[in-house]
Structure 1
Amino acid sequence: MEWFRDHMWETWAALAVLLGLAELFSLDLILIMLAVGALAGLLTAALSAPVVAQMLVAAASAVAMLALVRPELVKKLHGGPELRLGHGKLVGQQGVVTELVTALEPGRIKLAGEIWSAAPYDETLTIAPGETVEVLQIRGATAYVHPIPKLES
């Protein structure tokens, strides 16, 4: 016990390293915050503060890191952009009808530079060539579309 009291900064450094290594296995960003608290304790020990002061500084900085820094880091790590891959990224885009689109006879639309088979999302509609449509759903290789109303001037 006497060795720890004589070598407090080394003890804090070892604790910080152990907590940092343990964080590599947990990846919860909790142990790294405690390691930062241990580093604050190390700095306090390097200034020859009493052991109680070192523990209070270490605890306060660890709690502050857990309360203030960790939530923002977790939000940034878990809240990235939504990735839409494949044909799912075409939903919501607009295309132009190239062949008559009816519920009985699927037509064709030009969508994102490609020709797609298309059917009306509302089966009662008939969409003429040249009309602009919005893709509401894609099933297989068929885009289910709805016409975009034109504003008459």
Structure 2
Amino acid sequence: MNDINAWVWWLVAAAALGIPLVVTAMPEFAMFAVGAVAAAVSAGLGGDVVVQVLVFVVVSVALIAVVRPIANRHRSQRPQLVTGIDALKGKQAVVLERVDNTGGRIKLAGEVWSARSLDTGSAYEVGQEVDVVDIEGATAIIM
């Protein structure tokens, strides 16, 4: 295998490693493909077969050792965007009908919600701004 053929074969190997990456969605194949590209560069610069294989192994292993833990850490993090009823907790609402510990109505995020007060002795009058502390079913708990 001469120098020109060696780098071509490494690029073919890199492209071949891209196929299982697309099919299986395993990022390790991308890291091996980058290792193959690095080996192609070393072949293009005149490195012998031992150097090419060492470059492939070192680059591939280094990428797996560094990138994989970072990717796993990002994958395990909860998304920062809260949705649904969790997004409504802590929001402000306006009282539409008097709210006490037995019930009432508020306007929350553009919608009318049934509500009740967190404290049994508290009551909120029409037009008053309140804070939503929790959602229980279809009822907002306010204070």
Q: TM-score, normalised by structure 1?
A: 0.75
Where in structure 1 do 4 or more consecutive aligned residues deviate above 6 Å?
A: none
* Deviation string, structure 1 residues 113-148 (Cα, Å, up to 9, x no partner): 4432211234x2332215442212224432121x2x
Question: Which of 122, 137, 140 is the equivalent residue of 1:126?
Answer: 122
| 1:110 to 2:110 alignment | no
- Kept in 1: contact 2:10–2:37 (CA 8 A): yes
The residue that corresponds to 1:81 in the other structure is: 80
Q: Aligned-residue CA RMSD in angstroms? A: 2.4
Q: What is the number of residues matched between the two proteins?
A: 139
Indicate conservation of the 8 Å contact 1:96/1:132, yes or no.
yes
Matched, 1:31 2:33: no
Q: How many Å separate the matches in 1 of 2:19 and 2:68?
A: 18
| Alpha-carbon separation, structure 2, partners of 1:125 and 1:19 | 68
Identity %: 37
Structure 1 residue runs of 5 or longer lacking an equivalent are 148-153
Once the two structures are superposed, the pairs formed by residues 3-152 of structure 1 within 5 Å of their partners are 5-6=1-2, 7-73=5-71, 75=73, 79=77, 80-85=79-84, 87-104=85-102, 106-122=103-119, 124-129=120-125, 130-145=127-142, 147=143
Letter in 2 for 1:126: S
Q: 1:97–1:127: 8 Å Cα contact kept in structure 2?
A: no
Separation in structure 2 between the aligned mates of residue 20 and residue 67 of structure 1, nearest angstrom: 19
SS of 1:8's equivalent in the other structure is helix
Q: Tell me how far apart the structure 2 counterparts of residues 74 and 100 of structure 1 sit (CA, whole Å).
A: 50
1:67, 1:61 → 2: CA distance?
10
TM-score (norm 2): 0.79
5+ residue gaps, structure 2: none
Deviation of 1:63 (Å)? 1.7
Structure 1 range deviating more: 53-62 or 9-18: 9-18
Whether contact under 8 Å (1:33, 1:70) holds in the other structure is no
Higher mean displacement: 69-78 or 49-58: 69-78
**Structure 1 residue 77: Cα displacement:** 6.3
